[in-house]
Amino acid sequence: MRRKSTTRRREAMGGLAKGLSVIRAFTREHAALSLSDVARSARIPAATARRCLLTLEESGYVTRNGRNFLLRPKVLELGAAYLDSMNIEQVTHTHLEELARNTSDSAALCVLDGEQIVYVARASVRTLVRLEAHVGSRFPAHATSTGRVLLAGVSEDRLQRYLAGSSFEALTEHTVTDPSKLRALIEDCRRAGYSVVEDELAYGVIALAVPVLDQQHRVVAALNTSSHSRRISRTRLVRERLSMLQQVSRQISAALASVPWLSLSAQI
């Protein structure tokens, strides 16, 4: 096992890893970064950060404004390649559109990526003023209904690592940040087969989520319907939409049988 691990490290491209870390240094809150900012965020020497930035600039992924660097739209091609390879939007579009139309709200399909959930498909007939998500949006898993559904589907070992190694930010006064309370909610979700989160990700946002399964009955994605908490109560949300959501989940689960990546992801 050690020999295989050593071989993998030897074959890995350190330069590529550093370049990707430079891209990840840019966020919504820090869209323009100086060289020293990038080096500090990516945890690499300034000289290395400079070479990465110059390479990315030459390739069209980065531009500069004075002393600051910014990402260019070409970076979106990297995410587009991921979505295109899975073909998820095309596979799920009709189902999500129908769910959004029947609820007069939004519907989304999310996957787990580390400590965050990522929107891979979405449909909406209503705009949430306080929080508008789109394909590619990321949110902390602990504060979302889809995140808790996805965490309910991971192994006990992975869940333990997540709870022990993550820092849970309080996004509102209602956000659950205590690991033991969060574990209890995830276990409740596992037993019930759904999760409801209200005013934890943002004030006014309430969402109900259910798992999407692969052919081996493993959780590979989460389907949610969201609304404004002033429009609908938690009890009414479950009563009116749970069976509808579960039916659409089964339809999407069947449709996603043609997406090999999702089955493989459950094994990672």
Same domain? 113 vs 18: no
Bridge partners (DSSP) of residue 62 are 71
| pLDDT (mean) for 190-210 | 95
CB 146 within 8 A of CB 222: yes
What does the buried/exposed string (b/e) look like for 167-200 if buried means 16 or more CB atoms within 10 Å of the residue's CB? ebeebeeebbeeeeebeebbeebbeeebbbbbbb
Q: Which residues does 8 contact at the CB level (< 8 Å), separation at least 6?
A: none
Same domain? 185 vs 150: yes
Same domain? 89 vs 163: yes
Amino acid at residue number 35 = L
pLDDT at 13 over 70: no
Confidence at residue 87, expressed as pLDDT on a 0 to 100 scale: 54
Q: Distance between alpha carbon 147 and the CA centroid of its chain, in Å?
A: 8
Same domain? 246 vs 155: yes
Q: Which two tokens stand for residue 163?
A: 């709870």
pLDDT band at 172 (very low <50, low <70, confident <90, very high): very high
Angular region, 43: left φ>0, alpha ψ -120 to 50, beta rest: left
Same domain? 108 vs 27: no
Same domain? 153 vs 191: yes
Q: What is the per-residue pLDDT across 67-81, written as a single tens digit (0 to 9) for each?
A: 899 888 777 666 655
**Domain boundary residue among 71, 91, 122?**
71
Same domain? 129 vs 170: yes
**Domain boundary residue among 56, 71, 86?**
71
Q: DSSP alpha helices (H): ranges in the chain? A: 2-11, 14-24, 35-42, 46-59, 76-86, 88-103, 145-152, 156-165, 179-192, 234-255, 260-265
How far are the Cα atoms of 5, 44, 110 from residue 193, in angstroms, in the given order?
38, 43, 16
CA distance 232 to 227: 7
Same domain? 13 vs 85: no
3-state SS class at 195:
strand
CA distance 243 to 102: 12
Q: What is the per-residue pLDDT across 209-241, written as a single tens digit (0 to 9) for each?
A: 999 988 778 888 899 999 998 889 999 999 999
Q: Which two tokens stand for residue 91?
A: 């596979």
Task: Count Cα atoms within 13 angstroms, Cβ side, for 198.
Answer: 12
Residue 231: CATH number of its domain: 3.30.450.40
Residue of 209 and 7 predicted with greater confidence:
209
Confidence at residue 39, expressed as pLDDT on a 0 to 100 scale: 93
Residue 36: CATH number of its domain: 1.10.10.10
Same domain? 98 vs 63: no
Confidence at residue 241, expressed as pLDDT on a 0 to 100 scale: 95
**Domain boundary residue among 14, 36, 71?**
71
Q: What's the number of domains the chain is made of?
A: 2
pLDDT band at 38 (very low <50, low <70, confident <90, very high): very high
CB 246 within 8 A of CB 224: no
Q: Which two tokens stand for residue 32?
A: 């323009």
Confidence at residue 184, expressed as pLDDT on a 0 to 100 scale: 97
Same domain? 40 vs 158: no
Same domain? 55 vs 82: no
Structural domain range at position 55: 2-71
Burial (Cβ within 10 Å: 0-12, 13-18, ≥19) of residue 126: middle
CA distance 211 to 148: 10
Same domain? 96 vs 44: no
Which candidate, 199, 205, 196, 206, places its Cα nearest to that of 242?
196
